[in-house]
Amino acid sequence: MADELIQLTACEAVRGLRGGDISPLELIDAAEARIAAVEPHINALPTLCLDRARAHARRLMAGEGCEAKNEPGWLAGLPVAIKDLADVAGVRTTYGSPIFADHVPDTSHALVHRIERMGGIVVAKSNTPEFGAGGSTFNEVFGKTRNPWNTALTPAGSTGGGAAAVASGEVWLAHGSDHGGSLRRPATYCSVVGLRPSPGRVTRGTVNTLFSPLSVQGPMARNVPDVALFLDAMAGLCPLDPMTFDAPVVSFGAAVAATPPPRRVAFAATIGGSPVDRETRDICRLAMKHFEGMGAEVEEISIDVEDLEDTFLALRSQQFVIDRELQLQRHRDLIKPDIIWNTELGLAQSAAALAGAERRRAALYACFVDLFRQFDLIVTPGANTPAFDVDLRHPVAIDGIKLTHYLAASLLTAAVTLSASPALSLPCGFDQYGRPVGLQLVGRPRGEAALLAAGAFYEAESGLAQQLPIDPRPGTVPPVAGL
């Protein structure tokens, strides 16, 4: 029975819960058994809270806390994982940092509170790099998370634990966050679906960077309808977050079923000249046949962006100053070098450099506005390179170009972050070494409904979502292309 439950999609499981065919306790038992079998191989969910989960399940089954049961996104007792950057009341929450290795918060993050109000049951915290900074999921508290498609490889970061857990069937849904690609790259590396929503679509709670659109919270799942379901559970106005706005009148789940496919699709093999693995480009270009198969006109375009890397680094580093300056003063010896480097880059940059980055961001946004006058959807590769060695902080090189810092492997997704557009990563195939390759679908700002619908049409054409969940597979590290 547990194996059968793990095979269900989130939407199928929720239908069973709503109809009384499945109980939340049965799903928790199934998740617990799967976690016990899988965790020794991938280390995706290092902190479990099963007693708390079962207590929540019993309350729901007794009719308590069901005020939202008629609202879109009602999860009806479905187990979920929460990234270890978001507080869950009474559950160890470390942010991947030795500074907070023993931290147990008294109150939950605003989004966790919303998810639980919508009938989601938290069963585990998913692993993340320290403070979510990094393209590979490891930290000094819990160690490294491995990719279930090949355990010699990384699931990327920073929602690597969530992506690995969803791909291997430990949970049906995983919460994550995204700054430069932290929902999208792990989704690509693990052949699952991750959505970076528009800024303001989902609450970020009480972060210090409340007025910055760079970091967002969002959903991850095995397929697009499941992502839409979880987005409905997450979306809406939150008084703690000044950027949030009301959820749509028509739910995302309903929109996915009713919205027509895109008519004009643009494919860009890269953005701003960012290096992309050659085989990845070829696989993604070939995948455009699925859009053509649904009747869309596909045009390959070039998206030229001035000083993309410098622009993103300047704006990201300013956010690191806001978040990490005081921690560096108090705990520098406990913080990893990448965070120190990123923060000090922000402390050292001039006001003129930051102003220049803001002007270039405005120009990039205008570029995307113009593109969306011509196209319904923009598609790029989901990541600059496929999954790499789990023991590395970042790829050594991409398409023969050596990388000098960890953010250089995230520029495809970082560019879309700067555009303030929602972006959906979903599977499109595998390279010659069996590594997942994905697409990044980019929609108009606040256009998640049409974006999710396009993803659902693509997913139905490709059939790749049917391959999940998988049992973790041992493997070796492929050679680096171009070296």
Whether residue 481 is predicted with pLDDT greater than 80 in this model: the reply is: no
* Residue 182 appears among annotated catalytic residues: yes
Whether residue 291 is predicted with pLDDT greater than 70 in this model: the reply is: yes
* Residue 251 appears among annotated catalytic residues: no
Q: What is the model's pLDDT at position 1? A: 80
Inside any domain, residue 483: no
What's the average model confidence in pLDDT over 392-418? 94
Number of domains in the chain: 1
Inside any domain, residue 481: no
**Distance (Å, rounded) from C-alpha 257 to C-alpha 88?**
33
Side chain identity at 265, as an amino acid letter?
V
Inside any domain, residue 118: yes
Give residue 483's pLDDT band: very low, low, confident or very high (50, 70, 90).
low
Q: Catalytic pick from 158, 215, 317, 425?
A: 158
Inside any domain, residue 477: no
Whether residue 185 is predicted with pLDDT greater than 70 in this model: the reply is: yes
Q: CATH number of the domain that 149 lies in?
A: 3.90.1300.10
Whether residue 482 is predicted with pLDDT greater than 90 in this model: the reply is: no
* Residue 83 appears among annotated catalytic residues: yes
Given a contact cutoff of 8 angstroms between Cβ atoms, the answer to whether 167 and 149 are in contact is yes
List 217's β-bridge partners, or say none.
Answer: 177
Q: What is the model's pLDDT at position 343? A: 98
Phi, psi of 229 (to 5 degrees): -60, -45
Inside any domain, residue 476: no
Give per-residue pLDDT as tens, 60-106.
999 999 999 999 999 999 999 999 999 999 999 999 999 999 999 99
**Distance (Å, rounded) from C-alpha 178 to C-alpha 195?**
9
Inside any domain, residue 478: no
pTM of the model: 0.98
Give per-residue pLDDT as tens, 136-163.
999 999 999 999 999 999 999 999 999 9
What's the average model confidence in pLDDT over 432-455? 98
The total number of residues shown for the chain amounts to 483
354 lies in which domain range?
2-467
Q: Catalytic pick from 126, 182, 198, 251?
A: 182
Token pair, residue 405, equals: 């810092």
Q: Which residue has the tokens 């792990």?
A: 186
